[in-house]
Every structure is written in C-alpha cells, then in structure tokens.
A and B are shown apart, each in its own frame.
Chain A
C-alpha cells in the first residue's frame, strides 16, 4: 500500500512539474522560424478576406443603374516561398469571388524567381510588383501599374500597386544600385471603366455607368505581342550622408488612356507612347523626412502639342515633408505641380470643349494624418488630394484595428468632390461615387 502511495505521489508531482515546466523559451519552438526551409514541403500562408463597399452618394449614374455595391470581394490568399539552391521562388495567389463583377477568378499576384547572379547582381523574373519614387500616393517616376479602382475603393495598400510580368536586374556597388525592369507586355493601370465607378464619356460630355465593362475583355491596344509593346524602366540610386538620390528613365506608354481617337464617329481612349526622365531625393531634414521628385514626360505621339486629343508633354514635380508630431500622431504634406509644355499649341488646338480646358499649371496639395493608439493595434488615417485647377478632390479616411495578431477589421470612406463644369477631371468624374467600406481579414 505504502509503495502504491509513493508511486502515486511521484506521478502527481511529475505531472504538476510538467504543467509548470513550460517556460518562456518553449514559445520559440511553437513559433518555428518562418525562414526558408528546403527540406519541408510548401509552407502555405495567406489570409481570408471579406470586403464590402457601398456607394453613399445620393445621385449618380451608378444609382441610376440601381447599383449600390461597388465592392464585394471574398478572397483567399495563398502564398509561399521556396528555396531551390541559390534561387528563391515566391508566389502569391488570390482565389476570389467578385460579387460586383459577378465573377470568380484566380489572380496571380506574384510568381517570381529571385536568383543572385553574383554577390553584387540580383535577377528577378516573373510576375512581381516593382516600386520606386518618393511620392506618397503621387507617382511621377513610378510607372509600374497601379490599381486606381483599388485606391478609390479603400483596398489595402498592397492592392493599389499591381504586379506585372517583368525581368528585373539589380546591381549593387558601394552605396549605390542600378535597377532595370523590362516588362515585355504593356501593363497599364487599372482605371475606372464604368463598372463600379462612373466615367466621363467624351462623346456626350456626361458621366456614365456601364456594367458591360465589368468583365474586361477589351484590348489595351498594345497587346499584339510585338517587341514595341514592351516597357523598360531604369533607376540609379545612391546614398549620400542620410539622403537618398535617384535618377530614373522610362520608355513605354501612358498608363491610363491619355489619348482619344476618333473611329467610326465615336471617341475612345487609347494609351499613347511615353518617355519619362526624372530624379528624386529623400532623407531626414530637421525632425522629418523631406522628399523631392521631378519628371519630364515626353509625349512622343504629340511632340509639338498640336493634337488636343493626346496629352501634351509635361514637367511634373513634387515637394513633400512628413514628421511625427507626437509619439501617436504624424502628419505629411505634399505639393505637386504639373506644367504642360507647348501650352499655346494646346489652347489653339482645343476647338471644342470635349474635355475641360486644362491650365498650364495644375496643382495638387495632399495631406496625410495618421493617429496610432492601443500599442499600435489601432490606426486612424486620413489622406486627401486637393486640386484647385481641376476643381476636384479625393479624401480617404480609414480606421483599422488588429483585434488579435491575426485578425484585422477595417472600415472607412472615400469621398470625391468635383465641379459640373469639369467632369472630365480624374476625381471630379467620381463625384457621385462616394463610398464606404468594411473589411475583415484573417491571416494564417
């Protein structure tokens, strides 16, 4: 009996000690390093997303068409990274159902291979997002595809940039790097077509909604598989002190249909040829970050500006400053100006007010306010563009909360203002497309 009691006592003691033996460091074995593990199978990660957005304007073409929802995505993201010898394969796949376009699709957001060719040269090929430039939601030398519809619907920042099938070569030497991105097939921006956001119809000078454009099958005019349909972009960056300076070049096309052509009596948009040369600087000055960017947009198909249907060459430049006002609150502001070249030719060529008569200098002022609280689990942010000459503005307001490390809720509004005499301006044409959205995201 005594022997039995001893055994029971020892067993109980060992069970109790087992329960208390898990010290802090066992947590490291739970959190197995997510770094590349060639021996294990694909370690899939991703998220599950539900986002819904409604038009909150009282009138407008979308409302006339009886449409309320502008956003209705149910998305499953699957992503993984795999090392094969020196190369790394990365893929990001979105399996999603878009209830507005009434379609389900698999969207490959990323499918690229990264190979270090030497210890100073990296090659990346496949579908990937490329970004450079120093503007905050203002892109001068970043001519990589953007999804403006995502921007206008309040989607996560990662969706405002679109991937393209590219070859990217980056060489590093000292404090500098030289980057070339070659995209064989023209990849334009995703701009409103009338499906979930109104567009300006140059044939009637009115705003229209068009649900037939929800299933995009139209050609962008440069998808004939020709060598000339490609784009090439390059940048040279160097660090001097705490400032980063860069030079840029781009050869390709305008990313949104900045040209109009007449065929069969109707005006339709097309993407004219474009070359851009620019430079930028960014770094800490005082307590904040000062950014400057400049670009010369050379409109190749309208070199002398005499064709009013094709955008003229322009000079574009921005100056921005952002700083923290306190440990919770930060502010950023930018002044952006576009100067149209050959303005006299443009004015004389403008025979009918198909599109609003642009000014020689068009300015955009932006303001970003960010407030973070609750140990950076709650974020409130406001971003606004104000364009006096275009008589329009666009304001995004978002509240995001990390309910737990992996579950996030976000809500917000996107508000557009415009003038009825300037309906062809990019934000103005969306004056009746104000929307509010709700997003749930579960990461795994």
Chain B
C-alpha cells in the first residue's frame, strides 16, 4: 500500500512539473515576433558575399502591428539607404492560413507592384534571412520535441528539435537553443532535406528595452554558400506600443510614408 501511494505521488509530481514543449515553442514564437502590440525599429542589414568581399548595406525602418498575438500581423518597411532604393516601401499583411498579401511601391515610377506571398522561404532582399525568418515561422508548422535542458553561453536553455510537417519544406530538421528566462532563441541550426546543416542563426546581443527582451544583433550564416547576413537593430530607435493603426499600413502609407514613425 505504501508503495502504491509513493508511486501515485511520484506520478502526480511528474505530471505537474512536466515541460509542455508546445507551450515553450509558442512562448518563443511570441517573444521573437509578437513583442507588445506594435513596434517601430530602425534596422541595418549587412549582407556579406562569399569570401572576403565587402558587405552591401541596407538601412530601413520597420513598423509592425499585431492583429492577434500569434496570428495575423501587418508589416511596413521603409528603405532609407542605399539611395537607389530610398523611399521604396513594402507592405506585408502576414496571414496564417493563407499566403501573405504583399505590395511594393517604387517611387521613381509611382508603381505599386503586387508580389506573390508564396515562397516564404525565399531570401528577403537577397540576404541570408528568408521572409519566414524575418516575419516568423508559425510553431504549428512543425512537430516539436524537447531534446534536453542545458547551458549555452552561460545561460540556461531548452534545446528543442522541430520537424516540419510539410515534407516539401526546405528544412528536414530545426534545432534551437532557447533561453529559459526570456524564451528568445540564442542559436538555431537548420538541416536541409539531405540532412546537412546548411544554415545557422545566432542572437548576439540581447537587451531589455522598454521592459521587453530585444535581440539587437542577429546573424544568419549560410554554411554551404559561405555567405552571411548581420541584421542590427538601432537601440536608440526601437519603440513598442507606439499606437500604430491599421490605416498606417495602407496604400496611403506606401505612397506617403508616415514620417512621424520613420525618424
């Protein structure tokens, strides 16, 4: 009888403290892509070619509004440099169950261009980050498993393994080192359909800004191509809960950038 009670109590305690991997992945997704209700940031993207070449740099602002946490979002990008893309604007209405709605505005010819939202894993602006890396890969796309709990770079992490449900996905496996205290990914390794590690993501600088753990430096390395992209967030110009409205993400904003948010 005593055995049974002990066994029963052990079972209950294990169940109570069992780690829900899906809950971790959801928290990680929200921590990376859905901070507060909206945000504005100035970003510098440095794209390094293979070899010792100089990086091509792009400076832009990004506005984000969450329609629903973990759900649809609105993104607006305003390019500042180099000068041949200055004032070019890009609007994305990120959808979950269907392809994103995307429009690009080219000011020199006053042309609004419709862009297909298919191919989310294609490079964003020629960089090593894909559209999915920039706007978020929904956690429901994969089956997750907790590999272990560990220490990485002196911080307590969950090491997770995600297998895409769609066999046509570019990835066969994604392994992530997620910091326990803030649910941000410190490192993510991507394996292609041949099982080869082809891409690695690292967060290099995390700071608390307006109470939100924010990644200020992101590095994506394409190991097979030998290229690398560094995405920097200007710590002096990142803001949360600015009060962005849906109308700030309309065709009017494509043609007339809302300057009050872009400085």
Binding site for B on A (CB under 8 A): 24-25, 27-28, 31, 33-37, 45-47, 83, 114, 116, 122, 128-131, 134, 156-158, 160-161, 170, 172, 175, 177, 237, 242, 244, 282-284, 286-289, 291, 322-324, 327, 372, 374-377, 402, 404-406, 408, 443-444
In the bound complex, CA of A165 to CA of B182 (Å): 56
Q: Which residue of B lies closest to A322 (CB)?
A: B116
Are A405 and B109 in contact, with the CB atoms below 8 A? Answer: no
Are B116 and A237 in contact, with the CB atoms below 8 A? Answer: no
Are B114 and A244 in contact, with the CB atoms below 8 A? Answer: yes
- Determine how close the nearest CB of chain B comes to the CB of A223; give it in whole angstroms: 24
In the bound complex, CA of A160 to CA of B214 (Å): 44
Q: B43-67 interface mask toward A, CB cutoff 8 Å, 1 = contact, 0 = none?
A: 0100101000010111100000000
Are B59 and A376 in contact, with the CB atoms below 8 A? Answer: no
Q: Interface size bucket, B side?
A: 35 or more
Are A237 and B80 in contact, with the CB atoms below 8 A? Answer: no
Are A129 and B110 in contact, with the CB atoms below 8 A? Answer: yes
* 9-residue interface stretch from B13-21, B160-168, B248-256: B248-256
Check if B147 is an interface residue, CB within 8 A of chain A: no
Check if B12 is an interface residue, CB within 8 A of chain A: no
Check if B42 is an interface residue, CB within 8 A of chain A: yes
User: B118 — which chain A residues lie within 8 A by C-beta?
Assistant: 284, 286-288, 323-324
Check if B234 is an interface residue, CB within 8 A of chain A: yes
Beyond A170-B252, A284-B99, 5 additional contacts (C-beta under 8 Å) are A31-B81, A34-B86, A284-B101, A375-B49, A376-B125
Q: Which residue of B lies closest to A161 (CB)?
A: B109
Q: B226-238 interface mask toward A, CB cutoff 8 Å, 1 = contact, 0 = none?
A: 0100101011110
- Determine how close the nearest CB of chain B comes to the CB of A248; give it in whole angstroms: 14
Check if B123 is an interface residue, CB within 8 A of chain A: yes
In the bound complex, CA of A284 to CA of B102 (Å): 9
In the bound complex, CA of A412 to CA of B125 (Å): 24
Check if B126 is an interface residue, CB within 8 A of chain A: yes
User: B227 — which chain A residues lie within 8 A by C-beta?
Assistant: 375
In the bound complex, CA of A399 to CA of B126 (Å): 17
Are B109 and A131 in contact, with the CB atoms below 8 A? Answer: yes
Binding site for A on B (CB under 8 A): 42, 44, 47, 49, 54, 56-59, 80-84, 86, 98-99, 101, 106, 108-112, 114-119, 121-123, 125-127, 216-217, 227, 230, 232, 234-237, 247, 250-252, 255-256, 259, 262-263
In the bound complex, CA of A242 to CA of B72 (Å): 14
Are A27 and B263 in contact, with the CB atoms below 8 A? Answer: no
In the bound complex, CA of A339 to CA of B127 (Å): 46
User: A323 — which chain B residues lie within 8 A by C-beta?
Assistant: 116, 118
Q: Which residue of A lies closest to B84 (CB)?
A: A443
With A27-B232, A45-B86, A47-B83 known as contacts, the answer to whether A405 contacts B119 (CB < 8 A) is no
User: A284 — which chain B residues lie within 8 A by C-beta?
Assistant: 99, 101, 114, 116-118
- Determine how close the nearest CB of chain A comes to the CB of B73; give it in whole angstroms: 15
Ordered by A's residue number, 8 sampled pairs between the chains whose C-beta atoms are within 8 Å are A34-B86, A172-B250, A177-B251, A242-B98, A244-B114, A323-B116, A372-B126, A377-B56
In the bound complex, CA of A28 to CA of B58 (Å): 11
- Determine how close the nearest CB of chain A comes to the CB of B30; give it in whole angstroms: 25
Are A31 and B59 in contact, with the CB atoms below 8 A? Answer: yes
Are A288 and B110 in contact, with the CB atoms below 8 A? Answer: no
User: A372 — which chain B residues lie within 8 A by C-beta?
Assistant: 126
Are B119 and A327 in contact, with the CB atoms below 8 A? Answer: yes
Are A25 and B235 in contact, with the CB atoms below 8 A? Answer: yes
- Determine how close the nearest CB of chain B comes to the CB of A168; give it in whole angstroms: 10
Q: Which residue of B lies closest to A35 (CB)?
A: B263
- Of A114, A156, A158, A288, the contact of B116 (CB 8 Å cutoff): A288
- Determine how close the nearest CB of chain A comes to the CB of B255; give it in whole angstroms: 8
User: A37 — which chain B residues lie within 8 A by C-beta?
Assistant: 263
- Of B47, B80, B256, the contact of A33 (CB 8 Å cutoff): B80
In the bound complex, CA of A326 to CA of B16 (Å): 48
In the bound complex, CA of A292 to CA of B111 (Å): 16
- Of A324, A375, A404, the contact of B126 (CB 8 Å cutoff): A375
Are A405 and B116 in contact, with the CB atoms below 8 A? Answer: no
Between B84, B115, B255, the greatest number of chain A beta carbons within 10 A of the residue's beta carbon is seen for B84
Q: Which residue of A lies closest to B93 (CB)?
A: A242
In the bound complex, CA of A24 to CA of B108 (Å): 31
Between A158, A242, A323, the greatest number of chain B beta carbons within 10 A of the residue's beta carbon is seen for A242
User: A25 — which chain B residues lie within 8 A by C-beta?
Assistant: 216, 232, 234-235
In the bound complex, CA of A33 to CA of B236 (Å): 12
Are A160 and B114 in contact, with the CB atoms below 8 A? Answer: no
